[in-house]
Amino acid sequence: MTGVFSEWYKLPMSLSELCINTTLRCGQSFRWQKIPESEEWRCVLYGRLFSLKQDSNHLYYRTYSSDALPTPPSSVLPSRATSDTENNDGKLHTEKPGDDQLVSILKHYLNLSSNLSELYNQWSAQDPNFKKKAAAFSGVRILRQDPWEALVSFICSSNNNISRISQMVEKLCIHYGPFVATIGERVYHDFPAPDALAGKDVESKLRSLGFGYRAKYIYQTAVMVSQEREKGWLNDLCNPESPAFGIEAKAGDEMKPEGRDGYRNAHEKLLELQGVGPKVSDCVCLMGLGWGESVPVDTHVWQIAQRDYRFGKSSQKTLNKATYDAVANHFRKLWGQEAGWAHSVLFTADLRSFADRLATTKKVDVKVKEEESEVKIETEVKTAVALTAPKVEAEVKNEQEKDIVKGTASKKRKAPAESIIHAGHTTETRRTSKRLRR
């Protein structure tokens, strides 16, 4: 069975607004596969195989088409991308904003509606610790995943690490998810629907695949969602301001110290399911249901709260409900309605797999200019992070753009200096009266 990737399309996107090398591997989604030879990330979304890569200025994407792809409802799944030109020659094209479903899916899934630089500035102004660590971890976005996939994935996360969770989720897709494509030796499946995991032999099969006690939780939860809850029950728990894909956004509730009423309701409803405790419920609320104030608290986050925020007694090593709520409410008070997002940035900064990202460089340039009645002081701060620049295997017709793309493609990791990518740029201007400076 044959298939082919579409040409590469691109969206203007700086690393400070989105860094896929961080966002896709920081413990939110467990299905993205890194293709080292081409620096691509691949995953099946809504029945279509997407491939992403990035440089300093653009996010590149393409999709795979084959005879095996299902024919989806036009209102849900993407059609083939359209471009500024009619050529199908494998060259880069600039996407017309808002006129293609592929763009809509990416903007929804990657949660691109918010200005992330503004959010980072807001959190940094409120929290010196966030400001200190955020420079090395710019571009971390909270993904807007399918609620069912987020639910099952985080049931798998109980007492587990990212690598093993990813293996479990891949097994679920391979054994129970719809087949989408085979590329080389890699097979790609979509995530299985609830009824696909509600069969009588599912629990025993998952145990044989190494899921342990989680096999029972996955099976029982699948039965509850597919047979004991109304259709669309999970989607109805979504934040109306950040609904499931294809549903129109509506105004939400008033924010409270413990979170909005809709968030508290969703959190409690999820706790009724098998294998869902407070932390798993909050992970699903944040990364599947769109509740930005949801703050998942585990022992790792508890340690961050103790170490960086002098929260509680350092001798206390376990979490109870009172401590859990107190930590989450503290962060909601500190960071506001998107507290879960800010918390995820600090959680990522504490992961061992990102220890190299702390090697950042900062350049501060201060310019003083005397004007007629005042002195203008301009402070420019540029932050750079050690990253590998992805190779762009394409050409563009526009000569100026062509030079930029080729320049990025030619960079290889020969020395640390060549892998530095601009990650943050802020400018502050102050004006002082000459009389006050005397």
Residue 279: DSSP 8-state? H
Average pLDDT, integer, range 410-430:
43
- Rounded to an integer, what distance in angstroms lies between the CA atom of residue 367 and that of residue 91? 43
Which of the two residues, 133 and 96, has the higher pLDDT score?
133
Q: Give the dihedral of Cα atoms 163, 169, 174, 180; nearest 10 deg.
A: -100
In this prediction, what percent of the chain has a pLDDT beyond 70?
A: 71
- pLDDT band, very low/low/confident/very high, at 377 (cuts 50, 70, 90): low
- pLDDT band, very low/low/confident/very high, at 367 (cuts 50, 70, 90): low
* Predicted local distance difference test score (pLDDT) of residue 372: 65
Q: Is the pLDDT of residue 83 over 80?
A: no
Give the model confidence (pLDDT) of 225-248 as tens digits.
999 999 999 999 999 999 999 899
Classify residue 153 as exposed, middle or buried by CB count within 10 Å of its CB (0-12, 13-18, 19+): buried
Q: Is the pLDDT of residue 94 over 50?
A: no
Q: Is the pLDDT of residue 428 over 80?
A: no
Residue 228's contacts (CB-CB under 8 Å, 6 or more residues apart) are: none
Distances (CA, A) of 370 to 374, 377, 431: 6, 9, 10
Side-chain-side CA neighbours of residue 343 (13 Å) = 33
* Predicted local distance difference test score (pLDDT) of residue 135: 84
Average pLDDT, integer, range 360-380:
60
Helix crossing, 321-335 with 299-309: angle to 10°? 60
Active site annotation includes 412 = no
Amino acid in the structure at residue 23: T
Give the model confidence (pLDDT) of 303-356 as tens digits.
899 889 987 665 555 678 888 999 999 999 999 999 999 999 999 988 876 765
Q: Share the mean pLDDT of the chain.
A: 80
With DSSP H G I counted as helix, E B as strand and the rest as coil, what are the percentages for the chain, rounded to 5?
40, 20, 40
* Predicted local distance difference test score (pLDDT) of residue 314: 53
Amino acid in the structure at residue 337: Q
Residue tagged 């050409």 (tokens)? 395
Q: Is the pLDDT of residue 40 over 60?
A: yes
Q: How many CB atoms are located within 10 Å of the residue 317 CB?
A: 10
Give the model confidence (pLDDT) of 255-298 as tens digits.
999 999 999 999 999 999 999 999 999 999 999 999 999 999 98
Q: How many CB atoms are located within 10 Å of the residue 354 CB?
A: 16
- pLDDT band, very low/low/confident/very high, at 376 (cuts 50, 70, 90): low
Q: Which run of H or of E encompasses 118?
A: helix 116-126
* Predicted local distance difference test score (pLDDT) of residue 319: 76
Lookup: tokens for 182: 């085979």
Which of the two residues, 396 and 426, has the higher pLDDT score?
426
In this prediction, what percent of the chain has a pLDDT beyond 90?
A: 59
3-state SS class at 5: strand
- pLDDT band, very low/low/confident/very high, at 113 (cuts 50, 70, 90): very high
Residues shown for the chain: 438
Q: Is the pLDDT of residue 175 over 70?
A: yes
Give the model confidence (pLDDT) of 143-153 as tens digits.
999 999 999 99
Q: Which run of H or of E encompasses 32?
A: none
Q: Which run of H or of E encompasses 132?
A: helix 128-134
Task: List b or e across 79-117, with b for residues whose CB sees 16 or more CB atoms inside 10 angstroms.
Answer: eebbbeeeeeeeebbbbeeeebbbbebbebbbbbeeebb
Q: In this predicted structure, which of 89-93, 169-173, 189-193, 429-433 has the lowest mean pLDDT?
A: 89-93
Active-site hit among 10, 171, 279, 363: 279
Which is nearest to 413 in space by CA: 433, 432, 386?
A: 386
Helix crossing, 214-223 with 147-156: angle to 10°? 160
- Rounded to an integer, what distance in angstroms lies between the CA atom of residue 298 and that of residue 287? 16
- Rounded to an integer, what distance in angstroms lies between the CA atom of residue 41 and that of residue 32? 6
Give the model confidence (pLDDT) of 114-130 as tens digits.
999 999 999 999 999 99
